[in-house]
Homo-oligomer: A and B are copies of this chain.
Amino acid sequence: MTRTIIESKSQTAIIGFDQPFCVIGERINPTGRKKLARELEAGDFSTVEADALAQVAAGATMLDINAGVVYNSNPNPNETEPPLMQEVLKRVQALVDIPLCIDSSVPAALEAGLQVCEGRPLLNSVTGEEEKLELILPLVKKYNVPVVAISNDDTGISEDPEVRFAVAKKIVERAADFGIPAHDIVVDPLVMPIGAMATAGLQVFELVRRLRLELGVNTTCGASNISFGLPNRNGVNAAFLPMAMASGMTSAIMNPMHSLEMDAIRAANLLTNNDDHGSAWIKANKPKLAEGEVEAGARGARTGRRRRRS
C-alpha cells in the first residue's frame, strides 16, 4: 500500500490510498495576488500568517508555501526568492503545526527551503525536463524528502494523456536511478480546463487510475484548473474532486476555505472507506444546536433530560 510520509516538527501527514484525502492549502502564493506580493517585498508577513491559520482552521492537511515574488527592486528571483522562501517557511512553521510543501520553480529557493524547513516537507516540484531532473532529484535524495512530479517535459505539456503518462513514468524511473522510491513521488498528471478541452475530466480520471495501478504512485493536482473560465467554479470543483477520488487521486493543491469542495471531500472520504465509522462526517455535520441548547451527550445525557427542546 503506497504511503507518502510528510512531517512537520510535531505532526505527520500521510498521503495514501487508504488515507483521507490530503488537502494541500494553496493560499500562501503571491501568484495573481498583487497585494500579497507587495507585502512580501516590504517584509510584511501578516497576510501569510493569517492565511496559514485560516487554512489550518478550515481543515487543510498540509500548507503549500510559494514565495515567487518578482521584486520591483530586483527582478532576479534567483537572488530574492531563496531568502524570502526561508523567511516565509520560518514564520509559518513557528505558527502552525501541520507539515509544509516547499513550492518553487527556482531550484535555489527549493534548496534554501529545505535548509530551514523542520521535519520532512514535500518538495514541489520536479518535471520531466532534463535540467529539472538533474537539479531537483539530487536535492530529493540529499534531503530524503518526497517530491511532486509534474507530467510535462522539454516538449511542454502534451494534450495526449499517453504522453503525460510516459513523462510520469520517466520521472519515476529516473528517480529510481537516484535511489528514490516510487512512494516518495506524488504525480501531478496535469488538469486542463474542461471549458477548453471537453475530455479533460475523463483524461485525468483515467490517468490517475493508471498511475495508481501501473506505477503505484500517489497523485495530486491543481484542482481548480478544471473549472477555469466557467461560472460557478466551486460547483464544478466540488464534483471533480469526488470523481478524481473515486478514480484513485489521493491529494490536491486547493483552497480549503471553500466549504462546498471541503464538504464534497469529506463525503468522498466516507464513500472510499477512509472515514472510520463515519466519525469525521458526523462530527462535521452534526445537527446545529439552537441557541441555549445543550450539546447532546455533554449535559443532556448526564441529566437525563430531553436533548432537543421542541
Contacts and interface: CB of A to CB of B under 8 A. Distances in A.
A226 interface: yes
B264 A194 contact: no
A165 interface: no
B231 A243 contact: no
A195 B235 contact: no
A285 B235 contact: yes
B202 A236 contact: no
Interface string A175-205: 0000000000000000000110011111001
Interface string A37-48: 000000000000
Contact of A239 (B202, B242, B282): B242
Interface in A199-256: 199-202, 205, 226, 230-232, 235-236, 238-240, 242-247
Contacts of A270: 194, 201, 236, 239
A264 B238 contact: yes
A73 B73 CA distance: 89
**How many copies of this chain sit in the oligomeric assembly?**
2
A202 B275 CA distance: 13
A238 B234 CA distance: 13
Contact of A243 (B232, B271, B287): B271
Given A238-B264, A239-B264, A242-B242, A271 B195 contact: no
Contacts of A263: 232, 235, 239
A285 B232 contact: yes
A235 B275 CA distance: 15
Contacts of A272: 201-202
A69 interface: no
A278 interface: yes
A240 to B, nearest CB: 6
B242 A273 contact: no
A268 interface: yes
A273 B239 contact: no
Contacts of A243: 242-243, 245-246, 268, 271
18 contacts: A194-B278, A198-B278, A200-B271, A201-B271, A202-B273, A205-B246, A230-B285, A231-B286, A232-B281, A232-B285, A235-B285, A239-B263, A239-B264, A240-B267, A243-B243, A243-B245, A243-B246, A264-B264
Given A198-B276, A205-B246, A231-B282, 9 more contacts: A199-B273, A202-B273, A235-B266, A238-B267, A239-B263, A239-B264, A239-B268, A240-B242, A264-B264
